[in-house]
């Protein structure tokens, strides 16, 4: 694992600490409707404030192209304040006089949230001039926004490269990096990956990379249909990607040549339409009718997946097995989630999961707290699983100077 600075070594007392956070949280009627991402950053914010830092929050919200009150971070501030149990200020811009005045008025231990960084086009362009203006507002940089680390933007990339700011991973970022290292750099073997979801097209790189890392790859979700077609199975009216059948065949061939086990569903829950509580049938993979849609894995597949987990020591999971938003097509995912949680709680499995749908499914199964590490990242988790060093992580790595001869 690359070397990162440790936040506890930072002397933050009286310093202006710029903290990149991900406040891109779901909102409903002007209020935060899911505060998971805010809860994750609380330890970092409280630790810095308690040590006398002047904590300045930088974040994007949604995807505005210009200043637009609809995308203001202001309505998020009360939720941050509630969770850190202290007042949190707000500045109506993230650079310029409004930001400068608000920061100049801060006292040690104060927390201030700056307005949406994406109100400036320089943010998404990773623009150096804009980044320098952000950097000038602080003395130290902390990134606690793993879920935005796959973006190479000014507030998490150029802000470090154009400035002399020393960059630290925050607590939440560090735990994401540690989890990835535990899963991929020095995992307990055998390692199993579950990759589900709708589309092979979004996960091709992921599948290819995972095959080099895991003993067993379990493929689920509608993307499994493309693999089944590649094996000559009939999938009826099920969703699949005809242009990726050849790629699916290549992945199976790669698995074989690497000596990895690739697991596909052996039975399915099918229906004529995708909606909640429609009539369903359980069929083997050879019995899918011409008008059937495969909407979940069947009981024999669940049993097989659970038996694979029982002989695994590490699990990496991205993507649900079925159309889990509609009952009863959440059953397969929930049963596997329960098994993973039980094995984890019994100390037999180290489990890592991430991605929006996966986290939603774990919540549905009420097992999230029993999984070893649930990533806050969607795209960031996926790209990490593809073996990439994320731009927002790259700038946190301490360069290794090679020892001089004789040292
Ligand atoms: C996210 O919600 O995935 C992150 O905050 C990144 O947002 P983006 O996809 O709009 O870049
Ligand atoms: Mg996104």
Residues 313, 379, 388, 394: which is the catalytic one? 379
Per-residue model confidence (pLDDT) at position 407? 43
Residue 11 has pLDDT above 90, yes or no: yes
What pLDDT sits at residue 356? 85
Q: How far apart are CA 219 and CA 189, in angstroms?
A: 19
Q: Which of 379, 383, 390 to mutate to test the pocket of ligand 1 (most atoms within 8 A of CB)?
A: 379
Which residue out of 16, 20, 37, 203 is catalytically annotated? Answer: 37
Mean pLDDT of 213-226: 96
List pLDDT tens digits, range 382-393.
Answer: 999 999 999 999
Closest ligand by atom to 63 CA: 1
Q: What is the DSSP string of 302-314?
A: HHHHHHHHHT-SE
Evaluate if residue 406 carries a pLDDT over 60: no
Ligand in nearest proximity to the CA of 152: 1
pLDDT of residue 96 exceeding 70: yes
Is residue 327's pLDDT more than 90? yes
pLDDT value for 399: 87
**Band of residue 401 on the pLDDT scale cut at 50, 70, 90:** confident
Q: What are phi and psi of 75, to 5 degrees?
A: -65, -10
Residues with CB under 6 A from ligand 1: 22, 24, 63, 147-148, 151, 378-379
Averaged over 311-340, what is the pLDDT?
96
Task: Determine the pLDDT at residue 404.
Answer: 58
* Mean pLDDT (the chain, rounded): 95
Give 24 Cα–ligand 2 centroid separation in angstroms.
9
Determine the average pLDDT of the residues in 236-261: 97
- CA angle 140/141/145 to nearest 5° reads 155
Mean pLDDT of 363-391: 94
Q: Residue range 185-211: average pLDDT?
A: 93
Q: How open is the CA angle 354-49-81, to the nearest 5 degrees?
A: 65
Tell me the C-alpha distance between 196 and 319, whole Å: 4
Tell me, yes or no, if 30 is annotated catalytic.
no
Written as six digits, the tokens of 281 are: 């049938």
Catalytic site residue 356?
yes
User: What's the CA-to-centroid distance between 278 and ligand 2, angstroms?
Assistant: 31
């Amino acid at each position: 694992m690359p070397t990162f600075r440790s936040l506890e070594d930072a002397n933050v007392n009286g310093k202006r600490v710029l903290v990149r956070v991900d406040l891109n949280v779901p909102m409903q009627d002007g209020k935060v409707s899911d505060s998971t991402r805010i809860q994750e950053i609380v330890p970092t914010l409280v630790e810095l404030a308690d040590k006398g830092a002047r904590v300045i929050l930088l974040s994007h919200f949604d995807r505005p192209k210009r200043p637009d009150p609809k995308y203001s971070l202001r309505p998020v501030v009360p939720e941050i304040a509630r969770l850190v149990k202290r007042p949190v200020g707000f500045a109506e811009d993230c650079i310029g006089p409004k930001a400068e005045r608000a920061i100049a008025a801060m006292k040690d231990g104060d927390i201030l949230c700056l307005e949406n960084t994406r109100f400036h086009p320089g943010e998404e362009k990773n623009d150096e001039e804009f980044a320098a203006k952000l950097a000038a507002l602080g003395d130290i940089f902390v990134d606690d926004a793993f879920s935005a680390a796959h973006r190479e933007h000014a507030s998490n990339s150029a802000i470090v490269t154009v400035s002399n700011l020393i960059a630290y991973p925050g607590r939440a970022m560090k735990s994401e990096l540690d989890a990835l290292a535990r899963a991929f750099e020095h995992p307990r073997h055998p390692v199993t990956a579950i990759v589900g979801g709708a589309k092979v097209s979004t996960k091709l790189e992921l599948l290819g990379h995972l095959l080099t890392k895991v003993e067993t790859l379990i493929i689920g979700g509608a993307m499994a249909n493309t693999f089944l077609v590649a094996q000559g199975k009939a999938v009826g009216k099920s969703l699949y990607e005809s242009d990726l059948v050849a790629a699916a065949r290549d992945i199976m061939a790669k698995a074989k040549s690497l000596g990895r086990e690739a697991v596909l569903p052996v039975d399915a829950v099918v229906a004529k339409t995708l909606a909640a509580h429609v009539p369903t049938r359980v069929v083997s993979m050879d019995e899918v009718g011409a008008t059937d849609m495969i909407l979940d894995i069947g009981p024999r597949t669940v049993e097989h997946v659970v038996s694979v987990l029982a002989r695994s020591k590490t699990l990496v999971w991205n993507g649900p097995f079925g159309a889990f938003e509609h009952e009863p097509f959440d059953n397969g995912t929930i049963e596997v989630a329960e098994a993973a949680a039980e094995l984890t709680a019994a100390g037999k499995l180290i489990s890592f999961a991430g991605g929006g749908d996966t986290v939603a499914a774990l919540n549905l199964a009420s097992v999230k707290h029993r999984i070893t590490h649930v990533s806050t990242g969607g795209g960031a988790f996926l790209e990490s699983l593809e073996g990439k060093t994320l731009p927002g992580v790259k700038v946190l790595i301490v360069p290794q100077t090679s020892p001089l001869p004789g040292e």
